[in-house]
Structure formats: C-alpha cells, structure tokens
Amino acid sequence: MKFDEFVHYVIDEARRGYEEMDKHWRPQYRLCQPCHIDYDFVGDYETIRRDAGHVIRQIARHGDGAEVPFPSADVDSPESNADESLRPFYENVSAQKIRQLLRLYRRDYEAFDYKIPEEIRRILRQRSG
C-alpha cells in the first residue's frame, strides 16, 4: 500500500467513526483522554530515549533497583531531520487530504502541544499557490 492510499484509508475510517479506527492511527486524545486523566508524565517519540530514561529511573527508584536498559536506537538523534523525512511520504498526497489529516489530528496537536511540521506547511503552501 502506498502512503497516499493509506492516508485515504485513514480518512475514510474516521468518517465511519473513531471507534471503527484501528487504535494505531486513532487520534490519541480518544485513547488516553488527557482532559479526563491527570497524567504525571507524557513522553514524546521525538525524545524517546530521554523520556524512557526518566521513566526507567522512576520505576527503579520505587522498585527493586534492577537496572533496565533502554534499547539502542537513533529515533531521537539530533542528526535526524524528521521534517525532511516527511517529504517522500507526502509528495503524492493532495493538499486536500493533508488538510483532512490535520483536521482529524487537530486535537492531538493541541492536547500534546505538537507543532505542524514545517515540511507539511511548505507542501501546503506550494500546492495552494
């Protein structure tokens, strides 16, 4: 499945109702209900190594003291450029579909203080002009 086909599928699933959506792409605020639960920590994928380290330290502090290593990965490497990595995925997605995705996940962006990636803004400017 190509990414633009996946985007179409997700948008189509959302039209049928959030409960019908697979939990992996259902808006997160529908799963974790940040307005109804007072979480004491919310980690970000972009800083997963640092955030996981914090959680592991908290668990160790209250547990048996066993050290749990976090798997090695480059997901939050300062050398990675998430904006640039979006380009090949969105190159065949229409501006209309991108706007629909932004509407679908708008409350996630607000609840978790995410910014719309500059690459997405650039693509929308190019396709709107």
Task: Spell out the residues 6+ positions from residue 123 whose beta carbon is closer than 8 angstroms to its own.
Answer: 87, 90, 95, 98
pTM of full prediction above 0.85: no
Q: Where are the beta strands (DSSP E) in 3-127?
A: none
Tokens describing residue 6: 């996946």
pLDDT at position 56 is 83
Q: Say what the pLDDT of residue 25 is.
A: 92
Among 90, 97, 80, 79, which residue's Cα sits nearest to residue 122? 90
Q: How many Å apart are CA 104 and CA 59, to the nearest integer?
A: 34
Q: Residue 26's Cα: distance from chain center in Å?
A: 11
d(CA 45, CA 119): 18
Rounded CA gap, 67 and 59, in Å?
9
Q: What is the pLDDT along the chain (129 residues), one digit of tens a residue?
A: 999 999 999 999 999 998 889 989 999 888 787 677 787 887 887 788 888 888 888 887 777 666 666 666 555 555 556 667 888 999 899 999 999 999 999 999 988 888 899 999 999 999 876
